[in-house]
Every structure is written in structure tokens, then in C-alpha cells.
Amino acid sequence: ALHSVMMEAIKSLIAGDFETEGMLDQTLEWKSQVLVPWVYSVVGAEAYECNQWAAQLEYAASECFVHVRMNELFDLVTDYPESLPAVRELQLALDRTGRIFYETLAFEWRQALVQRLIHPGAQTSQIIDVYINTIKVLREMDPSGELLQVVTQPVREYLR
């Protein structure tokens, strides 16, 4: 239940705002000012410290941030370079979660490209524009190029 409340609160804080810098900081500030005092009052000081609630809430806030942004991946790409602050903060949030969401991110991004871009009504110029922006965003987030290979494979095949 706590996770759903966090998800909804973070979604209302950041959803659709790609250009404002500091959205991850605002998310963590909300966690510190609202969530931590509430959890502390519910579980008590001893349980809060013993069960490492601070670290768990920090991780959960970053995780929720990642999930909200994952649902907006296609929009992040189409709004690039204006969405650069959101792209950079998504990378930071992924780093804070130990990068365990990279596989999920790759799958979601790939699905978004296939569903929203590779269809009979899409113009080739539009596909190429989104493909170029996808490359730029992925290079910003993952200089190693691993995500780039996985995510863009369906578009490369389609354009051949």
C-alpha cells in the first residue's frame, strides 16, 4: 500500500514535466519531508533504525521515479533535446537503484518504439527522426551502447 501511495505521489510530482531540472531532487525532498516523518511516526524510532527504513524509502522513491519515467520513454525521445533534464535524471535514478531496471527499461523502450512508431501509418521521415533522437538519448544515458543495440534493433530492421 505504501508503494502505491508513493507511486501516485511521485507521478503527480513529475509526470509530463521533462524540461524542469531537479525533479529527482524534488522527489527525494518529498520523501524526506512527507514520507519519512509519517513512516517514523507509524513504526517508531527503534523499528525505523533497526529495519533501515531510511535506505528502503530512498530506494523506493528512486524506483518509483524510474517507473514513472519508463511510462514516458517515447515522449522523452520525441521531446529531445528539450527533455534532456529528464533523461539525465532518469539515468541518475537508475544508478541509485543499482541499475537493476536496465533490462526492464530496454524492454519497455523497445515495446514503445514498436507500438508507437513501427506501424503502416508512420512516415519514414518520422521514423528516422525518432530513431535519431533515440540514439541521442541512449548515448546520453548509456555511453557503453548496450541499451542502444537492444532498443533500436526493431527500428533498424524495419528501415532495411
For residue range 110-154, what is the model confidence (pLDDT) as tens digits?
999 999 999 888 999 999 999 999 999 999 999 999 999 999 999
Helices in 1-145 by DSSP H: which ranges?
2-14, 23-30, 36-43, 45-50, 53-70, 73-78, 84-96, 102-116, 124-141
For residue range 65-120, what is the model confidence (pLDDT) as tens digits?
999 999 999 999 999 999 999 999 999 999 999 888 999 999 999 999 999 999 88
